[in-house]
Amino acid sequence: MSRTQHKTNNFRRQMVFLSLISVILLATLFIGVTTAQSKEYIPPTYEYTTNYYRGYGVPDIHASVVGDTYFDRGETANVNVILSNRGILHGFKSVTDVEGDKAKQALAMKELEYETKRTIAYGIKASLVSPNDYIEIESSTNGQILEKLVPGNLPLRPMTFTIEISDNAPAGDYILFLPVSYEYQEDVRMTGGRTIQLGLPDMDHATYYNNSNITLQIPIHVEKEAEFEVVDVDGELVAGEESLIEVTYRNVGELTAEGALARVVVMDPLSIGSSTASLGTLEPGEEHTVSFNVNSEVMAVVKEYAIDSEIRYIDEDGDYAFSDNMKINVPMQSSDKWIGITQISLLLTLLITIYLVVDSIRKKKK
């Protein structure tokens, strides 16, 4: 080979190399453009295609939560999840020699452009799963879908999942699972117009996709708080009388409740003079007993009554907080000092019957 031919070949290799670099840069800028091939068609087999380059790089899907991840017991809240794609295009390897063939070189350059899309995730599907009974996921918010996720681009809006936290959930950290499935471009091969022979549209390339599944973790936190329950009730109601009812409350939560005030709500046939009683400061696990004077109407039905009760207290932030409603179950007894309505009715009926019988006998004697 002459010196002139050698210089010419070197110049051509440099021009091809520069052209490759230019194509890669342009393709990276316009990576969001969808593939030319429609996924409505099954790609042809390899014998009808030619592969010029092998690309390296796949999607790398991550999840992050937008907004607050701290929740209270008994709360129904939304968890907003943003998916991101950190996939990196690591490079390409030439697998078919195209030196000296301008037509093949053009096809190779075109394939190289398509190969840059291999890190895009398509048809993303995600559902939130709770591995424990304390947190439930509302089914109507599951099955979220994204059309595609391009590296470096975030979705316009997050995936929103609704969760329900049990009243009995212990405070602490919880992990929810987010299974994600998607497709990505595994390989691109040039067809050279041979797809028409198979009855397919005239496509210059065929794209082969691979399915991928990944499970991501979504951390949330259930906050500590004071929580109460009724542990003992002493006393009973008596129809037509005022009764002393003693109620013992326990702080079963993790935080101290300061300035706690118990309040009861009664309805007919019950009434109460003072509906509140001070519990003072309740440390976690501590119990306090308070009493209420409850009046019952004389006509009150003998049964067990459920009296509503709640506690107002000052939380760790110095704000007023209220407990959930608690039931105080108290039985009703009849009074020995009063004649019940049934007994009065029977007595009146008996007297009327006796009077009618006596009056009838007198009339017959006359």
Q: Are residues 109 and 202 in the same domain?
A: yes
193, 237: one domain: no
Q: Which pLDDT band holds residue 93 (cuts at 50, 70, 90)?
A: very high
What confidence tier does 336 reach under pLDDT thresholds 50, 70, 90? Answer: low
Is 351 contained in some domain? no
Q: Which of 160, 190, 222 is the last residue of a domain?
A: 222
- Domains contained in the chain, number: 2
- Residues 86, 131 share a domain: yes
Same domain, 155 and 216: yes
Task: Quote the pLDDT of residue 39.
Answer: 56
Average pLDDT over the chain reads 86
Residues 158 and 295 in one domain: no
Q: Tell me what pLDDT residue 40 has.
A: 53
Question: Could you tell me if 197 and 232 lie in one domain?
Answer: no
pLDDT value for 92? 93
Greatest C-alpha distance within the chain: 163
Residue 243 belongs to what domain range? 228-333
Indicate whether 29 and 139 sit together in one domain: yes
Residue 340: predicted pLDDT: 54
Q: Do the domain assignments include residue 358?
A: no
Read off the pLDDT of residues 155-178 as tens digits, 9 standing for 90 and up.
999 999 999 999 999 999 999 999
Return the structure tokens found at 318: 């110095």
| Contact predicate 78/162, CB 8 Å | yes
CA-nearest of 319, 317, 257, 314 to 288 is: 257
Q: What is the model's pLDDT at position 343?
A: 65
Which tokens sit at 353? 């019957």
pLDDT over 90, % of the chain: 67
Domain assignment present for residue 350? The answer is no
- 28 and 143 belong to one structural domain: yes
236 with 213, same domain? no
Lowest mean pLDDT among 237-246, 268-277, 315-324, 335-344: 335-344
Picking from 222, 245, 271, the residue at the C-terminal end of a domain is 222
Q: Is residue 58 part of a domain?
A: yes
In a domain, 36, yes or no: yes
Q: Looking at the structure, tell me whether residues 210 and 280 fall in a common domain.
A: no
Helix (H, G, I), strand (E, B) or coil at 4: helix
Can you give the length of the chain in residues? 366
CA 219 to centroid of chain Cα atoms: 11
Tell me, yes or no, whether 311 and 218 share the same domain: no
Question: Domain ends where: 176, 191, 222?
Answer: 222
pLDDT in tens, 182-196: 999 999 998 877 766
Do 269 and 235 belong to one domain? yes
> Is residue 344 assigned to a domain?
no
Question: At residue 243, does pLDDT exceed 90?
Answer: yes
Which token pair is 3?
């010196």
- Residue 356: is its pLDDT beyond 50? yes
**Residue 226: C-alpha distances to residues 164, 250, 265, 316 (Å):** 19, 10, 22, 9
Confidence of residue 29 (pLDDT cuts 50, 70, 90): very low
pLDDT of residue 17: 44
Confidence label for 286 from pLDDT (cuts 50, 70 and 90): very high
3-class SS of residue 295:
strand
Q: Is residue 142 situated within a structural domain?
A: yes
DSSP secondary structure string for all residues of 272-316: ES--EEEEEEE-TT-EEEEEEEEEE-TT--SSEEEEEEEEEEE-T
Q: How far is CA 11 from the centre of its chain?
A: 61
The CATH number covering residue 308 comes to 2.60.40.10
Q: What is the pLDDT of residue 353?
A: 86
Lowest average pLDDT, out of 21-35, 83-97, 218-232, 286-300, goes to 21-35
Instruction: Flag whether 81 is in a domain.
Output: yes
